[in-house]
Amino acid sequence: MVLGIVLIVSIAGLLKARMGIRKDMWGNEIKDNGRDDAEVEQMREQMKALKERVAVLERIATEKNHSLEHEIERLRDR
């Protein structure tokens, strides 16, 4: 009986996968709408730009000579 239940659940999972239904990280079933390549490429470009911006911000935040702090003080003294 247990084997039958496991078999039914497995077959149902395979059928859902063939129909494009998958689960998100919270377990909700979503229909895969098959994003087009242009949208995926645009998202990749945006992600690349954001990673570059984060890298610049990390470099500024971890600079050892605190040149940003000195620059702000210099501008404040004017």
* Whether residue 41 sits in one domain with residue 17: no
pLDDT value of residue 43: 84
Residue 8 pLDDT exceeds 80: yes
* Whether residue 77 sits in one domain with residue 39: yes
* Whether residue 59 sits in one domain with residue 69: yes
11-61 pLDDT, tens digit each:
877 776 666 666 767 767 676 666 667 777 888 899 999 999 888 888 877
Indicate whether this model's pTM tops 0.75. no
Task: Tell me, letter by letter, the H, E, C secondary structure of 24-36.
Answer: CCCCCEEECCCCC
Domain count, the chain: 2
* Whether residue 76 sits in one domain with residue 55: yes
pLDDT value of residue 19: 64
| Owning domain of residue 53 | 35-78
* Whether residue 13 sits in one domain with residue 46: no
pLDDT value of residue 12: 79
pLDDT value of residue 20: 64
